């Protein structure tokens, strides 16, 4: 299942915020033209508790307001292809290759993520830590799945049926809800060979009905969170003096 953002400071605020409330009044019965109040259960702000949590709230806000990078453009997701789709899937493939040390010396071929995993967008201008958490609030990690050619074909057809997904490392057309003429790293797809796909651990377990990931030839966990991959890429680009860029390149398209 999807794992939501867990920040100790966040939970301190939630806990103390609840403690900042005390009984006041609660609507317990509604009759015609009459509302009965129970004065025991409705919460009321406790100003002393609010003063207590103020430094914690300020610290968290300062952390979330930290500027990580600068984007030359607004990035939003879309189908069959979106600028945000391409940005996140491309960097996920890049960072995964950095940490992947396979025994067979065969690198990762491609990346597949899901639309539902991208929960926000990125604005033009400063990108804060808070914006990255809004985009990727889950604790999901990157996983490398080795698929047979037949299972890879199932993956392509699934993407076509869904009308597009965030992908990297391959291109494909979509026609009548089926994949059309897929290519992997510029080469024609070969159903007789296996392929390595990086995805999230949620999807690797069959999330979003991606059943083609179940019972793979091999599964290798990278122990790198998707959100951390995004942050690492952004910080690396900033250190290099680069701004964030992405574009549509027809990697997924509808065939006439």
For residue range 61-88, list pLDDT tens digits in order.
Answer: 667 999 999 999 999 999 999 999 999 9
Q: What is the pTM of this model?
A: 0.79
Query: Do 45 and 81 have their domain in common?
Result: no
Contact of 119 with 173, CB cutoff 8 Å? no
Within this chain, do residues 20 and 110 fall inside the same structural domain, yes or no? no
Count structural domains, the chain.
2
Do 91 and 102 fall within a single domain? Answer: yes
Task: Determine the pLDDT at residue 63.
Answer: 79
Query: Are 31 and 80 found together in one domain?
Result: no
In this structure, the answer to whether residues 53 and 163 fall within a common structural domain is no
Distance CA 13, CA 254 (A): 47
Q: Comparing 25-34, 49-58, 148-157, which segment has the lowest mean pLDDT?
A: 25-34
Residues 75 and 154 both lie in one domain? yes
What is the rounded distance in angstroms from the CA atom of residue 75 to the CA atom of residue 61? Answer: 23
54, 56, 136, 207: CA torsion to nearest 10: -110
Asked if residue 195 is part of any domain, the answer here is yes
Domain with 13, as residue range(s), is 8-64
What's the CA gap between 168 and 113, in Å, rounded? 9
Q: Is residue 1 part of a domain?
A: no
Residue range 133-144, pLDDT digits in tens:
999 999 999 999
């Amino acid at each position: 299942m999807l794992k939501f953002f867990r920040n100790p400071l966040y939970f301190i605020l939630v806990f103390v915020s609840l403690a900042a409330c005390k009984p006041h009044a609660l609507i317990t019965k509604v009759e015609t033209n009459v509302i009965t109040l129970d004065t025991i259960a409705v919460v009321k702000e406790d100003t002393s508790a609010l003063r207590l949590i103020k430094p914690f709230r300020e610290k968290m806000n300062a952390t979330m307001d930290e500027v990580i990078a600068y984007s030359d453009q607004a990035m939003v997701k879309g189908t069959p292809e979106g600028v945000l789709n391409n940005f996140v899937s491309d960097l996920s493939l890049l960072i995964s290759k950095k940490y992947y040390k396979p025994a067979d010396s065969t690198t990762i071929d491609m990346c597949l993520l899901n639309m539902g995993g991208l929960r926000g967008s990125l604005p033009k201008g400063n990108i804060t830590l808070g914006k990255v958490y809004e985009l990727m609030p889950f604790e999901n990690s990157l996983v490398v799945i080795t698929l047979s050619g037949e299972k890879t074909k199932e993956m392509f057809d699934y993407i076509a049926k869904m009308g597009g997904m965030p992908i990297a490392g391959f291109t494909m057309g979509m026609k009548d809800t089926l994949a059309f003429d897929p290519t992997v790293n510029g080469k024609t797809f070969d159903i007789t060979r296996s392929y390595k796909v990086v995805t999230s651990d949620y999807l690797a377990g069959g999330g979003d009905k991606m059943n083609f990931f179940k019972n793979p030839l091999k599964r290798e966990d990278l122990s790198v969170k998707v959100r951390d991959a995004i942050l690492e890429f952004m910080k690396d680009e900033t250190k290099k003096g680069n701004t964030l860029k992405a574009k549509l390149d027809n990697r997924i398209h509808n065939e006439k």
